[in-house]
Amino acid sequence: MRKTFVFIAVNGNISSNCSDFHTSSWRNILQRLDLSVQFMLLTRRNPDCAQPVNNNSDIENSNFNTSLPTKLIMHGYRMMGSKPSWADTMAQELLRAMDVNVIVVDWIIGSTALYHNAVQNSALLGLKASILIKNLISRGSTEKSFHLIGISLGAHVAGFVGRMLNGKLGQITGLDPAGPKFSKASVDERLDPSDALFVEAIHSDSDHFGISRPVGHIDFYLNGGQDQPGCSRPFSSSVYKYLICDHTRAIYLYISSIKHHCPLVGFPCQTYEHFRSGGCIECNNHSLQSCPRIGLLERAGLSADEQPKEVKVYLMTSSDSPFCVKHFLVEIFFKQLGPYDQSIELTFLSSNRSNISHLHLTIPNKESNERTLRKVIPYARFGNMDAITIEQLSSWRRKRYEIHIEKLRVSELPLNDRERPPSCIHNIVIDKKAFFAMFASCL
């Protein structure tokens, strides 16, 4: 085992008295070392040099301020035994955004190599973290002032801690809570809404490393919670980064939500498919009475009138930071259909004619009862949707017929925002040539 005492500052300054993460290896595991948990404090008085707060003496000699909120960050399973690459960035962005105590938890030794061993060690980590928090509360901090941010396996550890504090901690944020060993676990063995006054989870890899079921008061599912845009490029990075790209997207999106101000709004809905088909497009016609947002918001921006539980909300994102997009409802009203199903490609354009979004649709045949298609699409927040091209896709098996559209309407979500009227294109005829038109008022 090798322990370093250098915390690399964002501005390049280095102090030999600063704490940093342990490193681990398979040799450490074979030697059955203890967890070697350490708690490292960063504040605006020491933003670049972490202070240990492992015991009473450490706390007394630190900059911990009981009158400030406390953010406690817990990483998850570490296959390679290395320091999380995102840890410094998250801590620094939290300090820039708020005057808070940031405590970074290092349990690299107990979380490395064998996953099932890390799962077993997580209960002991939860106990150690709860002892620290109780100690800080005894010194004047309030239970409500604590916000635990748990990543993957660390999200369930945060749940253990919250349970040991009788669910009275202020908030827990689970960033793609781990799925393996937890998908079928009882509420006492995983993150659950009862673990804090408010529990939120952001799901980005629910079909592999993350859990699919809701585990909070509000559960955000990014792009359905599974495949993330920009993560299907295995040759653009290492195989390891490719494999965990979906899983870590929740982390980088959350960091981006702290740094940037563009809203990441989730729409309550039963399924992602129902959301994509335009079934959940308003923010005031469900029990929440508003749409929750990702970021440093109290209760995700919801009012305190009614406490939700395991509410699924869906949103789309872009492939790069700041990840936020606008959501648009596309409605196509058909005037005449052909004898066969046909496919079209819609490309939405900005004022400078750059692509904002694409939509591939199958147009029903004249025997179908469908005369309207509805789809929700994302588009970049920094562009305006001004025009569209529609191309009829070829099929070597069937003759192409003209497609007659009475009206194509696009509306920015949520629909109940009357300050953003919809835009329309009327009387569209699509044949072998690509159709192009500018959007105009629907009046």
Give the residue numbers marked as catalytic: 152, 176, 247
Give percent of the chain above pLDDT 90.
67
Q: Give domain 2-315's CATH number out of 3.20.20.140, 2.120.10.60, 3.40.50.1820, 3.40.630.10.
A: 3.40.50.1820
Average pLDDT, the chain: 89
Residue 9 has pLDDT above 50, yes or no: no
* pLDDT value at residue 32: 54
Is 13 exposed, middle or buried (CB count within 10 Å of its CB: 0-12, 13-18, 19+)? exposed
Residue 193 has pLDDT above 90, yes or no: yes
Distance CA 27, CA 346 (A): 56
Residue 213 has pLDDT above 90, yes or no: yes
* pLDDT value at residue 33: 57
pLDDT digits (tens, 9 = 90+) for 141-165: 999 999 999 999 999 999 999 999 9
Question: According to the per-residue pLDDT averaged within each range, which of 23-27, 176-180, 362-366 is highest?
Answer: 176-180
What are the domain boundaries of the chain?
Answer: 2-315, 325-441
CATH number of 325-441: 2.60.60.20
Give the amino acid at 210: G
pLDDT digits (tens, 9 = 90+) for 47-101: 999 999 999 999 999 999 999 999 999 999 998 888 999 999 999 999 999 999 9
Q: What burial letters (b/e) apply to 124-143, b meaning 16+ CB within 10 Å?
A: bbbebbbebbeebbeeebeb
Is 442 exposed, middle or buried (CB count within 10 Å of its CB: 0-12, 13-18, 19+)? middle
Return the bridge partners of 373, or none: 332
* pLDDT value at residue 367: 81
Of 158 and 28, the structure prediction assigns the larger pLDDT to 158
Question: According to the per-residue pLDDT averaged within each range, which of 8-22, 30-44, 101-115, 146-160 is highest?
Answer: 146-160
Distance CA 282, CA 407 (A): 22
pLDDT digits (tens, 9 = 90+) for 358-381: 899 988 888 887 889 999 999 876
* pLDDT value at residue 14: 37
* pLDDT value at residue 13: 39
pLDDT digits (tens, 9 = 90+) for 226-261: 999 999 765 556 677 778 999 999 999 999 999 998
pLDDT digits (tens, 9 = 90+) for 396-428: 666 778 888 999 999 999 987 667 789 999 999
Segment 30-54 shows an average pLDDT of: 88
Give percent of the chain above pLDDT 70.
90
